[in-house]
């Protein structure tokens, strides 16, 4: 057992837990941790702000399944806490460390300091203060355990300067199981599996709703196998978009708010819903309208708190999605493929596709986002990771960009607009050998545009596609409503930006960048950006009037049917 300082102990722990990147903003005693990482094979990524550090750690964690690490001084703690909301809502295993002043400086108006623990308590699974160096071994092990176990999530350690600077006799103990998610794959009770299997076999029009837990568990193969065995259509949450390829005959698309209406209709018409790894929140269920609240349902979740939270469950299966689905597969008897059911799904999906076909092929200038999404679908390499910002970016990628290869992955912002660029940088750090393409709007791009320089400086090479309508036009409909139907006076100043050539801004920072103003030029620009080998920005001038698809009152029922009751 060696005598070692707290800073060096933390650095050694990160190395032995297999951490490859640390995202940080300098200042204060945490700098000792970074110094101790010198020459240890860990990339230290200096960002332009604490929120960006949190977003990069989130992207890294979601790309790798390993905890993403972000470290800042105490003065920037509140900024970091704001950024932790995203990994919290995404169930992402992020470990955040902040410096903290020593007890003699508390409650005395220490320069730029305030009691910053409380903000972290709302956006983490676990937030603790470390006062003594001797506590670091058990607190760090617990941080990795908590971040990766159950439904993953962020952890915060507030570490006193004294604990970083003081030496003690300490040994690093690595619990290999907790270096990535999932550390455990718990199984549901066999009797409950048999009960769920019986319901599935009895149902006439069951539907699967695949959420983000399918992706975390790596259960996409099991989802498809069960769906094909029983001819069950599969709709997904936005986070679970990659659970089934869009061109699979049983794929209904993304449901909920940022949705294809065909998915909402197919789910609404179900007589039994199998929820897998979803919290059944407002985004996924269009404010708990899809499916109807009284629909019979089976729920699979690794978090007992989520079973039955929003929809009372007929059968609740507590367990890992992959293992639980395998138990269900073992418990049901395969059916002959139901051609009529497949044809019904393809008919409804085909109606949605026909409705948007003209816009997806539009040659209009300014460019329609639907056309941009079609071009992006064609350009995505089969092993790419598509990263999406929130707001309109989530709407466009969720509905219009198709994932047609089983190897494609989709990682979306779970919280705040502006996550896209730094999140994609973190994803690329975690998956350096895979193409990473981020779809964002200019509104989101402006939030952390300075992180382009971070990517250039560190040789991190995602492709950033900007849906550039020089506005925050997701609010256009609401603004028009409040202005009596049409904008007048100075209303435009509430929603519009200057029309800046963002490609030129990116070039000035050292990026490869192109401005695209004609739809026929999109495909070439995307291919060049994917091939260039450095961070690339494709700034696409799009139509300010184009609004993302949202649920409509008539989207929720195919027909009036007699509901199946178990």
Q: What does the pLDDT look like over 275-326, one tens digit per residue?
A: 999 999 999 999 999 999 999 999 999 999 999 999 999 999 999 999 999 9
Q: And the tokens for 501?
A: 């050539």
Q: And the tokens for 55?
A: 């977003």
**What mean pLDDT, rounded, does the chain reach?**
94
Q: What does the pLDDT look like over 20-31, one tens digit per residue?
A: 999 999 987 789
Q: What does the pLDDT look like over 165-221, one tens digit per residue?
A: 999 999 999 999 999 999 999 999 999 999 999 999 999 999 999 999 999 999 999
More confident site: 58 or 549: 58
What CA–CA distance (Å, rounded) separates 152 from 302?
A: 10
What CA–CA distance (Å, rounded) separates 371 from 22?
A: 38
Q: What values do phi and psi take at 218, rounded to 5?
A: 70, 40
What CA–CA distance (Å, rounded) separates 164 from 414?
A: 33
Q: What does the pLDDT look like over 71-110, one tens digit per residue?
A: 998 888 999 999 999 999 999 999 999 987 767 666 666 6
Does position 559 have pLDDT exceeding 70, yes or no?
A: no
Please give the pLDDT value at position 109: 67
Please give the pLDDT value at position 558: 47
The verdict on pTM exceeding 0.75 is yes
Q: What does the pLDDT look like over 124-138, one tens digit per residue?
A: 999 999 999 999 999
**Mean of the pLDDT values across residues 497-506?**
97
- Percent of the chain at pLDDT > 90 equals 88
Please give the pLDDT value at position 106: 63
Please give the pLDDT value at position 99: 87
Supply the DSSP symbol for 558.
Answer: S
Residues in the chain, how many?
Answer: 566
Residues 6 or more apart whose Cβ sits within 8 Å of residue 219: 213, 243, 276, 277, 320, 321, 322, 325
What CA–CA distance (Å, rounded) separates 291 from 266?
A: 9
């Amino acid at each position: 057992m060696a005598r070692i300082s707290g800073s060096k102990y933390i650095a050694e722990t990160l190395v032995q837990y297999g951490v490859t990147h640390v995202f940080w903003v300098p200042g204060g005693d945490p700098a000792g941790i970074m110094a101790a990482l010198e020459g240890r094979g860990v990339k230290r990524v200096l960002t332009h702000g604490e929120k960006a550090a949190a977003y990069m750690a989130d992207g890294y964690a979601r790309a790798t399944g390993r905890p993403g690490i972000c470290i800042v001084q105490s003065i920037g703690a509140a900024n970091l806490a704001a950024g932790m909301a995203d990994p919290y809502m995404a169930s992402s295993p992020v470990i955040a460390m902040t410096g903290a002043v020593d007890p003699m400086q508390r409650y005395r108006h220490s320069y730029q300091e305030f009691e910053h623990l409380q903000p972290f308590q709302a956006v983490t699974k676990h937030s603790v203060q470390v006062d003594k160096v001797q506590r670091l071994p058990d607190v760090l092990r617990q941080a990795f355990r908590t971040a990766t176990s159950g439904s993953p999530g962020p952890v915060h350690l507030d570490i006193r300067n004294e604990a970083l600077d003081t030496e003690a006799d300490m040994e690093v103990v690595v619990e290999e199981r907790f270096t990535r998610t999932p550390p455990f794959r718990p199984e549901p009770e066999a009797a409950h599996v048999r009960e769920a299997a019986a319901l599935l076999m009895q149902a006439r029009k069951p539907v699967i709703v695949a959420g983000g837990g399918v992706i975390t568990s790596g259960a996409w193969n099991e989802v498809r196998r069960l769906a094909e065995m029983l001819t069950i259509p599969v709709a997904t949450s936005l986070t679970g978009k990659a659970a089934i390829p869009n061109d699979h005959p049983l794929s209904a698309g993304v449901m909920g708010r940022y949705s294809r209406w065909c998915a909402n209709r197919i789910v609404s018409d179900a007589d039994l819903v199998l929820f897998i790894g979803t919290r059944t929140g407002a985004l996924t269920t269009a404010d708990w309208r899809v499916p109807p609240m009284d629909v019979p349902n089976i729920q699979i979740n690794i978090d007992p708190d989520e079973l039955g939270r929003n929809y009372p469950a007929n059968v609740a299966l507590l367990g890992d999605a992959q293992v639980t689905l395998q138990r269900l597969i073992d418990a049901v008897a395969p059916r002959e493929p139901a051609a009529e059911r497949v044809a019904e799904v393809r008919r409804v999906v085909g109606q949605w596709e026909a409705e948007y076909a003209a816009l997806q092929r539009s040659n209009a200038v300014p460019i329609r986002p639907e056309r941009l999404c079609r071009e992006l679908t064609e350009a995505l390499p089969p092993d790419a990771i598509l990263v999406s910002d929130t707001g309109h970016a989530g709407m466009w990628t969720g509905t219009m960009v198709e994932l047609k290869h089983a190897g494609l992955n989709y990682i979306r912002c779970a919280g705040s607009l502006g996550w896209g660029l730094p999140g994609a940088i973190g994803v690329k750090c975690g998956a350096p050998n895979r193409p990473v393409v981020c779809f964002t709007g200019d509104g989101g791009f402006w939030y952390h545009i300075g992180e382009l320089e971070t990517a250039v400086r560190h040789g991190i090479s995602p492709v950033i596609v900007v849906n550039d309508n020089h506005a925050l036009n997701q609010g256009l409909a609401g603004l028009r409503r409040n202005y009596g139907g049409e904008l007048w006076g100075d209303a435009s100043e509430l929603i519009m930006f200057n029309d800046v050539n963002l490609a030129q801004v990116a070039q000035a920072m050292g990026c490869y960048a192109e401005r695209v103003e004609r739809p026929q030029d999109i495909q070439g620009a995307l291919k060049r950006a994917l091939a260039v080998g450095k961070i690339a920005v494709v700034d696409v001038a799009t139509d300010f009037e184009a609004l993302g698809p949202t649920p409509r009152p008539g989207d929720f029922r195919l027909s009036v049917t007699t509901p199946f009751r178990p």
